[in-house]
């Protein structure tokens, strides 16, 4: 068996027999999104490291409070979904998941963007919406393949200048934070077309002053012109 889905309103733990399925590639232990259910699993056992062939691990909408460091041994993992749990931190060993390209962490209790995530150079999709994150490390610039970054509903007051090196970004959601300004080089994110495609870049719910919202709506050229004019003053 290469794909396994385990479901049940009363799901509390991973059945021990699962860890003997060493050829397993896809393991799903999360309710259907439209069901609005939440399972009660609080712990992902360290035996998860036995499933060395896993490429996809779905554990949304449980009650996970901790991820074991053994997850770092899943060297083939490409997709990991941990949204709608109770996570306040992530193990440093996650930085070893160098094939991971999609990571879902929305609606947890993270207070920072963990540094190990910035080592995942294969990452193209990262969702950390609806947490308590107040800072973005400058090392985020290492996520050179990142195309989608969702940061809405956090506590961000500023963005690092190094974030402007993410030239492959196509979608960036920053809504409902505490941002008053953007980095001066923000207009260099030329693949964002927030002036033309509203879904591409979202600033709503921020007290933006520099540049003001009407400038942001003009897209990257408007942003660049705004900061150029400030330098001339």
Q: 64 is written with which tokens? A: 């996970």
123: cis peptide before it, omega within 30°?
Answer: no
Over residues 69-110, the pLDDT tens digits come to 999 999 999 999 999 999 999 999 999 999 999 999 999 999
Total domain count, the chain:
1
- Backbone dihedral angles phi then psi of residue 57, each to the nearest 5 degrees: -130, 115
- Whole-prediction pTM: 0.91
3-state helix vs strand vs coil in the chain, percent to 5: 25, 15, 60
Residue 75: give its domain's CATH number.
3.80.10.10
Over residues 45-60, the pLDDT tens digits come to 999 999 999 999 999 9
Q: Which residues constitute the domain of residue 195?
A: 3-231
List the strands of the sheet with 26-28, edge to edge: 3-5, 26-28, 56-58, 79-81, 102-104, 125-127, 148-150, 171-173, 201-202
């Amino acid at each position: 068996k290469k794909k396994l889905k385990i479901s049940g309103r009363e799901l509390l733990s991973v059945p021990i027999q699962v860890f003997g399925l060493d050829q397993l590639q896809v393991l799903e232990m999360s309710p259907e999104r439209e069901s609005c259910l939440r399972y009660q699993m609080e712990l992902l056992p360290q035996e998860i490291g036995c499933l060395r062939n896993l490429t996809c691990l779905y554990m949304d909408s449980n009650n996970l409070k901790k991820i074991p460091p053994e997850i770092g041994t899943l060297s083939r993992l490409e997709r990991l979904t941990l949204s709608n749990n109770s996570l306040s931190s992530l193990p440093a060993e996650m930085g070893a998941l160098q094939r991971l390209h999609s990571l879902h962490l929305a609606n947890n209790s993270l207070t920072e963007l963990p540094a190990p995530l910035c080592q995942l150079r294969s990452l193209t999709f990262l969702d950390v919406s609806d947490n308590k994150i107040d800072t973005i490390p400058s090392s985020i610039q290492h996520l050179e393949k990142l195309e989608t970054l969702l940061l809405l509903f956090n506590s961000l007051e500023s963005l690092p200048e190094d974030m402007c090196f993410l030239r492959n970004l196509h979608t960036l959601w920053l809504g409902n934070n505490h941002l008053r300004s953007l980095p001066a080089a923000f207009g260099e994110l030329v693949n964002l077309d927030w002036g033309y495609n509203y879904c591409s870049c979202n600033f709503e719910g921020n007290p933006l002053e520099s540049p003001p919202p009407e400038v942001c709506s003009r897209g990257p050229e408007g942003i660049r012109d705004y900061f150029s004019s400030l330098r001339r003053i």
